[in-house]
Amino acid sequence: MKTDKVNKTSAEQRIPRYKLVIFDWDGTLMDSADKIVNCMQFAAKQCDMPIPTYEEVGHIIGISLKPAIMQLFAISDEALAERLVQAYKDAFVAQDTTPCPLFEGVVPMLERLKAAGCTLAVATGKARRGLDRAWAQTETGVFFSGSRTADDATSKPSPDMLLQLLDELGFSSDEAVMIGDTTYDMQMAKAIGMDRIGVSYGVHAQVHLEALAPVALVHSIKELEHALLG
């Protein structure tokens, strides 16, 4: 009991660098790339489309699903895109059993950020239903004061998600930071002059993240926590 009190006091004494911390979800907090790739390849097979490679699917992770699919398969046919979307969703929910764990250290980091007084939010290309399912699976929804999904805002790299969160939660862009593993996360923050932190353990190459001038590029959750709390 005494140890818990000491740990809590220590966390509260660490001064956060930002009042509002906004996370991407897939590839940033959750290790879900393998499942996303498997489900996209399944959808392609179901719809008689060329099977995309891991790298090709990785490039569009982070964008909202339908625009991502249209970009990935280079199609403009709305009906075909909807068929692929439905096939992907069916695979994700009912067919593919690839596990999607949180990256090691995520929950303790979220706990310490909250203890230090940070407001936390999520800006993700997932659908609302998908984010809610992930929150229920990981029991992490309690940490977040706000969220924007593909159902709520224009797809990344538009800064719409960030602008909505700033307005809802009452912060300015210079009080907030966006954290993500894709260039889309970096672009959306850069568009409104918001600080951004890239994580190299996700789907986009480090060199592409660095090109968008993040204030930090980290290689683990431990390094990310240090960048946020010192």
Residues taking part in catalysis: 24, 26
Which of left, alpha, beta for 139 (phi over 0: left; psi -120 to 50: alpha)? left
For helices 2-13 and 106-115, give the axis angle rounded to 10 degrees: 70
% helix / strand / coil in the chain, to the nearest 5?
A: 50, 15, 35
User: What is residue 92's DSSP assignment?
Assistant: I
- Point out which residues pair with 20 in neighbouring strands: 119, 176
Extract the tokens encoding 26: 């897939």
**Residue burial 172-203, b: 16+ Cβ < 10 Å; e: rest:** ebeebbbbbbbbbbbbbbbeeebbbbbbbbbb
Cβ neighbours for 79, distance < 8 A, ≥ 6 positions apart: none
d(CA 153, CA 162): 9
